[in-house]
Structure 1
Amino acid sequence: MKFLAYFASSMAATIVAMSCIGAAFAYDDLPSPPPPPEGWVQPPKQSENSVTQDVEDQIIQRFTAATGGDPNGILSQQQAKVAGWGLVSDHFSEIDRAGTGYVRLDDVRRFMSERTPQHIMRMKNLSKLNQRP
């Protein structure tokens, strides 16, 4: 009797395990994605320079929009806040090193470039080198 109970339970376990194997292959019938449209070209892989250029373009666009269309103009903290440029608005005193109450595009670029991951890693590596005896 014990043998029959053991045999029945092991068969039940085998059946359950075998039914799960079928579930693992259940997605073989999904269609493959369609081919890309005619004329489509794979975009180039991003490099550090292309990402830097994209960020630079975004900074210029946001600065120009915040100053009312003048990329050579000046930006106040209030203008940055109204334009929704919270990073510049929140760190305005750090960007405006001269304390004039306004900043130029070059000031914003300098501030942003000091916060890039590459710049931060360079500064950390330099501090490690300077700490060595």
Structure 2
Amino acid sequence: MKNVNVLVTGIVVAVVVALGHGAVFAYDDLPVPPPPPEGWVPPPRQSENSVTRNVESQIRQRFTAATGGNPNGLLSQQQAKAAGWGFVSDHFSEIDRAGTGYVRLDDVLQFMSERTPQRIMRMKNAPNLNQ
């Protein structure tokens, strides 16, 4: 009986070892991505400033489109809604701090910049001045 137990244990160990090695090589048949084309240069790393510039550029473009091509114009809540700019439409009363019914590009940019993840993280990590 003892020989049978040793034999069964040996078979179980052999199967486990074989399965373990199979798992290591399980994905060897996946295709390897091709090398980058000749002359390809990786894009520059993004920084907080470059992301901010890109976001501001997109906001300027949306504002200009929503005001009918006038980047120095005034935007109403109805124009923002008609342009599909739901975030600005939904938060219009917060952006229009003066309550005039219209906002300028600077108002939208200021509202957005106050809610960036970078600013929020800086505020959370800043030492509490009231202590």
Task: State the match for 2:76 in structure 1.
Answer: 76
Mean Cα deviation higher: 99-108 or 77-86: 77-86
Task: State the match for 1:109 in structure 2.
Answer: 109
Question: In structure 2, how many angstroms separate the alpha carbons of the residues matched to 1:67 and 1:31?
Answer: 49
Task: State the match for 1:131 in structure 2.
Answer: 130
1:1-133 matches, cutoff 5 A: 1=1, 3-20=2-19, 21-28=21-28, 30-124=30-124, 128=128, 130-132=129-131
TM (norm. structure 1) is: 0.85
Q: Deviations over 1:2-54 (max 9, x none)?
A: x1331232123112212221331243454532111122111000011101101
Mean Cα deviation higher: 21-30 or 104-113: 21-30
Q: Give the residue type in structure 1 aligned to 2:40.
A: W
Judged with a 3 Å threshold, the aligned counterparts in structure 2 of structure 1 residues 19 and 96 are, in CA distance, closer, same or farther, namely: same
Specify every segment of 5 or more residues in structure 2 that has no aligned partner in the other structure, as ranges. none
SS state of the match for residue 50, structure 1? helix
Question: In structure 1, how many angstroms separate the alpha carbons of the residues matched to 2:29 and 2:122?
Answer: 51
Judged with a 3 Å threshold, the aligned counterparts in structure 2 of structure 1 residues 127 and 108 are, in CA distance, closer, same or farther, namely: farther
- Percent of aligned pairs sharing the same letter: 70
SS state of the match for residue 131, structure 1? coil
Specify every segment of 5 or more residues in structure 1 that has no aligned partner in the other structure, as ranges. none
Judged with a 3 Å threshold, the aligned counterparts in structure 2 of structure 1 residues 92 and 43 are, in CA distance, closer, same or farther, namely: same
SS state of the match for residue 15, structure 2? helix
Greater helix percent: which structure?
1
Question: In structure 2, how many angstroms separate the alpha carbons of the residues matched to 1:119 and 1:23?
Answer: 46
